[in-house]
Amino acid sequence: MATEKVAPTKRELEAFELGNPDVVELIHQAEQSDAADRQLTIRQALKKYKKAVFWAMFLSTSLIMEGYDLVIITSFYGQTQFKKRFGVWDPVSQSNLIPASWQSGLSNSALVGQLAGLIVNSYTQDRFGCRPTMMFFMVWMLIMIFIPVFAPSLSVLAFGEAMCGVSWGVFQTLSTSYASEVVPTVLRPYVTAYVCMCWGAGILLSSGVVRAVASIEGDLGWRLPFVLQWIWPIPLFIGTYFAPESPWNAVRRNKLDLARKSLMSLQQDGPDKERTVDVTLAYIRHTTELEKGETSNASFLECFKGTNLRRTEINCVVWAAQILCGNAILGYAVTFLEAAGFTELQAFDVNISLSACYIIGGIICWFLFPHVGRATIYMTGMAFMFVCLIVIGGLGFAHDNSAKLAVGILLVISTLANMITVGPACYPIVAETPSGRLRYKTISIGRFVYNLTGIVHNTITPRMISSTAWNWGAKAGLFYAGTNLLCNIWCWYRLPETKDRTFGEIDVLFDNHISARMFKHTKAEQFAHQQNYERKEPSEHVESVA
């Protein structure tokens, strides 16, 4: 198999030159910016862009709210106080239970709200920018929390979850895209994977809160966890007000002065700061102009045309595979441990340990990023989980407590493996593969598919596990082993490796229809004025571009 060296397409270059009379100087400055970023080590990039890293991580903390509430609501189904307030009498268990239909309704109502938020964000971020969008929906969140806190019925609670879900849908896309745009290439996987860690931190926090309120009597036992959500919106609103706008977003909205001001805020002071800002701005303008040739209208429809269809496909499958890889049953480890003889409080303690895997796994993945590609991490994690799911499914045919305990332990191991590989590696992939002008819309479509997959998961997985429904138990592992295998086969043929690639280089590779298996070995000449191909053997070293 040969390795190619590709350049921008003629259509891209013509579009760029027509829009920029001083194109030669601009391209020269862009080359300088690209070469400078390519030489940065992680330590140097952190020192030079520590303000950018801070703001990327600050805005990502908004995802803590989403992870917190999505798990809180499911934890209430087993909480005594919540069941006394909203449950119905079950003569079999001689206690109040939340009906299965309402469990699905409450879990899915937030996802439906998120679907609406994803659509809204794709327009508001392009039209108004990242900061105004974030601040508006922080206020929205602040108001909507009143509904679940004072909900008199399950129907009102479901409505409140849906309304809060709108803001979570916005934060899902905004945090990932903002983080990927304000830091240089070498730091991109770390700040985007941090988004996943924030989501996990919310889950860990909710697990601790559920454990802490277990002894509180009355309605306060379930209302207090909702009340704690008011901790986040006000400080995040204030911080976002002082945060710089994404320079990529500002350039796409033709606000060059705002883009330059943002770049000045994101970089450390130094003797060559202004020159660095100028060449970085030139690079952003260069890449944005090249993209205009393919995405001039920047509408949702453009996401399904030409090379953008391939990018949208990648986003959708990578998002959906997070559930289909087996993550759908990882949350049932506590259920199997309880069946094996663990007490309710012991199960809560295990749940806290499981939630901590999101943080521990994300940190471990940080150490892998400099040495291993995103696609490699993603596919290796899925392969390991496939083996675990096969074993779990096989243990489902045994019925003693030892088998149930083994299933619970394997699910814990799978959770940690998922959080080291598939979970954090997903975020840089979905942030890097879309074109800049369609980034918000493409990520929104992918996350939309993720939420739809989540709705299906919330509907069928409880029925697989429940003894009163399909009663598959651990045998559900075999079903998700099948979906895992299908997703990994797709990854082998369709998932490109974007490690150490700038946004401009990724654009060139997609526009030249380079196959997923050749992405890693193809050198992209994003500043060339004509197409030229340089053939090399795969064993030869091909310079990676940072």
492 burial level (CB within 10 Å; 0-12, 13-18, 19+): exposed
Instruction: Judge whether residue 388 has pLDDT over 60.
Output: yes
Classify residue 200: in a domain, yes or no: yes
The per-residue pLDDT for range 276-319, each reduced to its tens digit, is 788 788 888 877 877 665 555 567 888 998 899 999 999 999 99
The pTM (predicted TM-score) of the whole model is: 0.78
Classify residue 235: in a domain, yes or no: yes
Split at pLDDT 50, 70, 90, the class of 376 is: very high
| Total domain count, the chain | 1
Report the distance separating Cα 415 and Cα 328, nearest Å.
10
Instruction: Judge whether residue 15 has pLDDT over 50.
Output: no
Instruction: Judge whether residue 341 has pLDDT over 80.
Output: no
Mean pLDDT across 198-212? 84
CB 165 within 8 A of CB 112: yes
Q: Tally Cβ neighbours within 10 Å of residue 274.
A: 12
Of all helices (H) and strands (E), which one includes residue 97?
strand 95-97
Alpha helices (H) along 245-343: 247-252, 256-266, 273-292, 306-324, 327-330, 333-339
Strand partners for 524: 6
Question: pLDDT at position 530, please?
Answer: 37
Classify residue 187: in a domain, yes or no: yes
CATH at 76: 1.20.1250.20
Strand partners for 5: 523
Classify residue 546: in a domain, yes or no: no
Reported as half-sphere exposure (CB side, CA atoms, 13 A), residue 538 has a value of: 6
Report the distance separating Cα 60 and Cα 38, nearest Å.
25
8-22, 402-416, 434-448, 480-494 — which one is most confidently predicted on average? 480-494
Q: Residue 246 gets which letter from DSSP?
A: P
Domain span at 85? 61-243
The per-residue pLDDT for range 437-489, each reduced to its tens digit, is 888 889 889 988 998 998 888 788 877 877 667 888 889 899 999 999 999 99
Instruction: Judge whether residue 156 has pLDDT over 90.
Output: yes
Report the distance separating Cα 229 and Cα 147, nearest Å.
12
Q: Residue 91 gets which letter from DSSP?
A: T
Instruction: Judge whether residue 29 has pLDDT over 70.
Output: no
Task: Tokens for 164, please give them.
Answer: 């809060």
Question: pLDDT at position 541, please?
Answer: 37
Classify residue 199: in a domain, yes or no: yes
The per-residue pLDDT for range 92-107, each reduced to its tens digit, is 667 777 887 787 788 7
Question: pLDDT at position 531, please?
Answer: 40
Split at pLDDT 50, 70, 90, the class of 149 is: very high
Q: Which string of DSSP letters, residue by residue, matches 171-184? A: HHHHHHHHHHHHS-
Classify residue 179: in a domain, yes or no: yes
Question: pLDDT at position 430, please?
Answer: 93
Of all helices (H) and strands (E), which one includes residue 6?
strand 5-6
Question: pLDDT at position 76, please?
Answer: 80
pLDDT, averaged across the chain? 82
Q: Give which of 377, 449, 390, 454 is closest to 417, Cα–Cα.
A: 377
Cα angle 354, 357, 361 (rounded to 5 degrees) comes to: 160
Of all helices (H) and strands (E), which one includes residue 66?
helix 63-75
Classify residue 137: in a domain, yes or no: yes
Report the distance separating Cα 192 and Cα 345, nearest Å.
34
Task: Tokens for 231, please give them.
Answer: 């901790």
3-7, 31-35, 371-375, 399-403 — which one is most confidently predicted on average? 371-375
Report the distance separating Cα 490 and Cα 516, nearest Å.
11
Mean pLDDT across 525-537? 46
- Positive or negative, the CA dihedral 436, 438, 441, 445 is negative
Report the distance separating Cα 6 and Cα 524, nearest Å.
5
When computed from its CA atoms, the radius of gyration of the chain, rounded to whole angstroms, is 24
